[in-house]
Amino acid sequence: MCTDIIEKASVSGSGKGPDGWFSLRQANVYYDHPFHAPLDHALVIDFVQDPDTPGHRVAVELSFDSAVRLIEAIRAALDSGVDAHAQDLHAPAAAPALEAVR
Amino acid sequence: MYPYEGMIAETIQFQGDGGDSVSAYVARPLGTTGPLPSVVVIHHMPGWDEWTREVVRKFAQHGYNAISPNLFHRFGVGTADDVAAVARSQGGASDAQVMADVEGAARYLRALPTSNGKVGTIGFCSGGRHVYLAACSIPSLDAAVDCWGGGVVARPDQLNEKRPVAPIDLTDRMEVPLLGIFGNEDRSPTPEQVDQTEAELQRLGKVYEFHRYEGAGHGFFATDRPAYRPEQAVDAWGKVFAWFERWLSA
């Protein structure tokens, strides 16, 4: 289905595009038709610096199962990272939550 | 000897909403003085993409002048996917702007020297919803084809500033003959929503024809997706061309 549903998360960090690294401000996330992946629907994440300028993004299109595995991997990596670098990070429960807004 | 066949396909600018110069992709048969029918192809949410352009050329192959206005023109210049990403992040184009752009694209087609004066419109997915709106709000159009437009039936919480009215609530204003193509496994629109739309068209005595396909879901024309259903798609394309032949012949 074509929808205009989108979840937006403010993020800080860096992404690497064809012109090199740039700082990130926002992640746009939706589950809808992909542009490139040969799937009917995909979990799309656009990591963007300037949400209003075409091309300033790092984009991924993932199958549903892949997206679930990625969520699990991110959670596992954060958990193990907290264990290894407890002096730098808060406990997992207090890890920065993505602020989803419509 | 086979007759000459040819077409020109190119990007052009036309006057859209608010007098804006809007980009569009146009395909026209060559080697004919016409008169030819015309079709406005309304792209889906993924944008003014390769598949949309293939559809425009398909109509030229079948003897139509066809145009696909870039409904995301105002979101910047870039590849279709990059511009569509910006459009989505800003909630897409408003219904009012899309209708004005479609009307402008139809004017462009009517002004072509080979035009027979008749213009239809076809749209896919979100473009199918736009077609339903166009059938209700642009009476100068001569035919409309809604391919699995989701959101024709909408709850109040699904409406917003850019999409203030559920298209089904405008059905009483529909003056354009409407063809609907749907897959019974679609979830947007669901078969129940298609039932609801058809009931409203019947209640108001509108000129319409719906074709609903078993074994097909959303976007079953898309040859590069798992959703492609060749048997249903071939039949449905036949229905599309028959509809335009019926209503767009001079």
A46 touches chain B (CB under 8 A): yes
**Closest CB from B84, B163, B225 relative to A40:** B225
Q: Which residues of B touch A6 (CB under 8 A)?
A: 88-89
A2 touches chain B (CB under 8 A): yes
Residue A25: how many CB atoms within 10 A of its CB?
15
ipTM for the assembly: 0.73
For B23-65, how does the pLDDT look when each residue is reduced to its tens digit (9 = 90+)? Answer: 999 999 999 999 999 999 999 999 999 999 999 999 999 999 9
More confident residue, B184 or A101: B184
**Spatial CB neighbours of B128, under 8 Å, sequence gap ≥ 6:** B42, B146, B147, B148, B149, B150, B152
For B129-158, how does the pLDDT look when each residue is reduced to its tens digit (9 = 90+)? Answer: 999 999 999 999 999 999 999 999 999 999
Question: Does residue B86 belong to any structural domain of this protein?
Answer: yes
Question: Does residue B90 belong to any structural domain of this protein?
Answer: yes
Using the predicted structure, report yes or no on whether residue A90 has a pLDDT greater than 70: no
Using the predicted structure, report yes or no on whether residue B167 has a pLDDT greater than 60: yes
Q: How confident is the model at residue A89 (pLDDT cuts 50, 70, 90)?
A: low
- Residue A29 CA to residue B50 CA, distance in Å, equals 23
Supply the mean pLDDT for chain A.
Answer: 84
A101 touches chain B (CB under 8 A): no
What count of Cα atoms within 13 Å lies in the side-chain half-sphere of residue B247? 24
**Closest CB from B45, B75, B217 relative to A4:** B45
Report the domain count for chain B. 1
Q: How confident is the model at residue A88 (pLDDT cuts 50, 70, 90)?
A: low
Q: Measured between CA atoms, how close is B33 to chain A, in angstroms?
A: 38
- Residue B168 CA to residue B155 CA, distance in Å, equals 11
Q: Which of B14, B36, B51 is nearest to B127 (CA)?
A: B51
CA angle (B178, B184, B189) in 5-degree steps: 60
Look at residue A50 in the predicted model and tell me its pLDDT: 87
User: For residue B170, what are its two tokens?
Assistant: 């405008």
For A4-38, how does the pLDDT look when each residue is reduced to its tens digit (9 = 90+)? Answer: 788 999 999 999 988 899 999 999 999 999 999 99
Instruction: Give Cα separations from A25 to A47, A56, A61, B142, B160 (angstroms).
Output: 8, 11, 19, 47, 26
> Do you know the residue count of chain B?
250
For B186-231, how does the pLDDT look when each residue is reduced to its tens digit (9 = 90+)? Answer: 999 999 999 999 999 999 999 999 999 999 999 999 998 999 999 9
Look at residue A94 in the predicted model and tell me its pLDDT: 42
Q: 51-110 in B: which are within 8 Å (CB) of A? A: 75-86, 88-92
User: For residue A61, what are its two tokens?
Assistant: 């299109």
**Closest CB from B81, B85, B217 relative to A28:** B85
Question: Does residue B2 belong to any structural domain of this protein?
Answer: no
Q: Which of B149, B139, B17 is nearest to B72 (CA)?
A: B17
Q: Which residues of A touch B48 (CB under 8 A)?
A: none
Question: Does residue B1 belong to any structural domain of this protein?
Answer: no
User: Tokens 């997706």 identify what position?
Assistant: B225
Look at residue A98 in the predicted model and tell me its pLDDT: 44
Domain extent listing, chain A: 7-63
Question: Does residue B213 belong to any structural domain of this protein?
Answer: yes
Q: Which residues of B touch A48 (CB under 8 A)?
A: 85, 89
Question: Does residue B223 belong to any structural domain of this protein?
Answer: yes
Q: Measured between CA atoms, how close is B3 to chain A, in angstroms?
A: 38
B234 DSSP 8-state letter: H
**Closest CB from B46, B77, B80 relative to A33:** B46
Q: Measured between CA atoms, how close is A30 to chain B, in angstroms?
A: 9
Q: For position B243, which CATH number holds?
A: 3.40.50.1820
The parent domain of residue B151 ranges over 7-248
